Amino acid sequence: GIQVEQSPPDLILQEGANSTLRCNFSDSVNNLQWFHQNPWGQLINLFYIPSGTKQNGRLSATTVATERYSLLYISSSQTTDSGVYFCAVAAGSGGYNKLIFGAGTRLAVHP
Amino acid sequence: DAGVTQSPTHLIKTRGQQVTLRCSPISGHKSVSWYQQVLGQGPQFIFQYYEKEERGRGNFPDRFSARQFPNYSSELNVNALLLGDSALYLCASSLGSSGNTIYFGEGSWLTVV
């Protein structure tokens, strides 16, 4: 099955700093999403980005499908950005969405 | 519009008991999936249902079962609970069966004692 690797596993930032999170995947995918899991456990969808570049406020993401990686950029970080960021992919074989999650990047933003 | 809703939010069960978790997808979404997240790990796929039919199943024992109703809501049942079943159970919905944005509910925290 598809392998998903995220780096770094842990990240500590001062408020206002920028960061880049990386997701490598081992096979072609038709679904790639970035999620933020808040301290209460809810997975919040950030981007649906199987290819290309998207931006939403201070967040942006780029997926280079041919090279099998995706990047999530966080600019001017805030304490509310703390939590775990997951990359998840699906190959879509069989006509269903089986999201394979990476182990996550645990982000702590300090004031 | 309401997002994906799950119930109950927290529950405690004893080993050997059975549990039923419920999920209502976003209005208009026909696909519901279930995931298990053990503390410190990423979610693991359990089932996907689309148009009331099982479309995919993850590597979970037969103690886990699910169904989808005509209104597209879903139930996840776990029989003969084990301590290792303690986890956050997440329901997700999407418009179609594949290649769509997937939205998650707030989850049901299950503790087995």
Structural domain boundaries of chain B? 5-112
* % of chain B with per-residue pLDDT over 90: 88
How far separated are the first and last CA of chain B, in Å rounded? 37
pLDDT of residue A98: 87
Are residues B33 and B58 in contact, defined by beta-carbon separation less than 8 angstroms? no
Mean pLDDT, residues B62-91:
97
Contact A45 B97 (CB under 8 A): no
How far is it, in rounded angstroms, from Cα B46 to Cα B97?
15
Please enumerate in sequence order all residues whose Cβ is within 8 A of that of B41, keeping only pairs 6 or more positions apart, or say none.
A103
pLDDT of residue B1: 62
**Closest-CA distance of chain A to residue B16, Å:** 26
How far is it, in rounded angstroms, from Cα B25 to Cα B32?
7
pLDDT of residue A94: 61
**Closest-CA distance of chain B to residue A58, Å:** 21
Identity of the residue in B55, B58, B106 whose CB atom sits nearest the CB atom of A42 = B106
For residue B5, pLDDT beyond 80: yes
Mean pLDDT of chain B: 94
A99 touches chain B (CB under 8 A): yes
pLDDT digits (tens, 9 = 90+) for A72-84: 999 999 999 999 9
Which residue in the block uniquely carries the two structure tokens 């418009």? B95
Q: Which CATH superfamily is domain A4-110 in?
A: Immunoglobulins (2.60.40.10)
Interface test with A, best of B9, B104, B110 (most A CBs within 10 A): B104
How far is it, in rounded angstroms, from Cα B108 to Cα B23?
10
Identity of the residue in B48, B99, B106 whose CB atom sits nearest the CB atom of A98 = B48
Question: Which residue type is seen at B9?
Answer: T
Q: Is B95 exposed, middle or buried (0-12, 13-18, 19+ CB in 10 A)?
A: middle
- Report residue B80 as tokens: 């003969």
Task: Give the HSE-up count for residue A48: Cα atoms under 13 Å, Cβ half-sphere.
Answer: 12
What's the CA dihedral at A102, B77, B92, A101 to 10 degrees? 10
pLDDT digits (tens, 9 = 90+) for B24-74: 999 999 999 999 999 889 999 999 999 999 998 999 999 999 999 999 999
Q: Which fold is adopted by the domain B5-112?
A: Immunoglobulin-like (2.60.40)
Show residues of chain A in contact with B105, CB under 8 Å. Answer: 42
How far is it, in rounded angstroms, from Cα A86 to Cα A19?
15
Contact A31 B102 (CB under 8 A): yes
Q: Which of B108, B66, B67 is nearest to B90 (CA)?
A: B108
Closest residue in B to A43 (Cα) is: B104
Structural domain boundaries of chain A? 4-110
Contact B104 A40 (CB under 8 A): no
**Closest-CA distance of chain B to residue A77, Å:** 23
pLDDT of residue A35: 97
Residue-by-residue pLDDT tens, chain A, 111 positions: 889 999 999 999 999 999 999 999 999 888 899 999 998 888 999 999 999 999 999 999 999 999 999 999 999 999 999 999 999 998 766 657 789 999 999 999 999
